[in-house]
Amino acid sequence: MYAYNHPLFTEKMHIYSDTKVSDFFASITDDQSIGFLNEWNATRDHREKIYISYDSANKNCQAGDIEMVEFGHAKDPRNLPIFNYAVAYDTNNREPLFYEQYPGSIVDISQLQFMLEKAKGYGYKRVGFILDRGYFSKENIRYMDQCGYDFVIMVKGMATFVSGLILENRGKFENKRECNIRKYKTYGMTVRHQLYASDEEERYFHLYYSDQKASAQRKQELLKAVENSPRTYDEIMAFLKEEE
């Protein structure tokens, strides 16, 4: 289906068979792959300020004795060994820049600094990074500061300081018109705060609230309460109505 909806960059947009594509990938050596990545990134405009979105995933593997395949934190737990792969993507120009593959036992949080060094090795200096919560740690934040990189990273919601920020600003923006982000049907505000006690600067924290997500979460909590309660569903609903 991908081939019918995306440019293929083949002569006359010819769609090759799965066998042909598989044979092509099997013929590529590691040196050729590395050479392609080096040449591809050498042609980028390194003077341009860009933001690199970086994310990883893992896949279960039943292929047998492969060095990279190890037991780790599988996203699809089936008691099988896994391998990790990641992609760095230029969000400004909408182009992939490079990819990585690494053993399944390595977690995201420990891989980030290696990726930052790789980006630097490709000549990217005027860059920022967009990262998900899997890369969030004090050490990674400090390392990006040392490298002079800007970054946007999702924080782990259960972190103590995150809960404190949310409670401190609760009720200040959730239903205010000036805080409404219509495109995403979300409310948001930005506050400045230190990330940790020894932090040398204040960071910008972007807080968001979604009525839809809040409603869905309340529904899940209600269903869980019904499952664990000796009362019937109708009794619980009547009780909640009285509380309103």
In tens, the pLDDT along 145-169 reads: 999 999 999 987 656 778 888 889 9
In tens, the pLDDT along 84-141 reads: 999 999 999 899 999 998 888 888 888 899 999 999 999 998 999 999 988 988 899 9
Q: Is the pLDDT of residue 78 over 70?
A: yes
CATH superfamily, region 44-154: Ribonuclease H-like superfamily/Ribonuclease H (3.30.420.10)
What is the enclosing helix (H) or strand (E) of 240?
helix 233-243
In tens, the pLDDT along 189-242 reads: 999 988 888 888 899 999 999 988 888 888 787 777 767 767 666 776 676 666
What residue spans define the domains of the chain?
Answer: 44-154
The residue ranges of DSSP E strands in the chain, in sequence order, are: 50-60, 82-90, 95-103, 127-131, 150-153, 180-181, 186-194, 202-209
In tens, the pLDDT along 35-73 reads: 999 999 999 999 999 999 999 998 888 877 787 888 888
C-beta contacts of 1-4 below 8 A and 24+ residues apart: none
Could you tell me the pTM of the whole model? 0.78
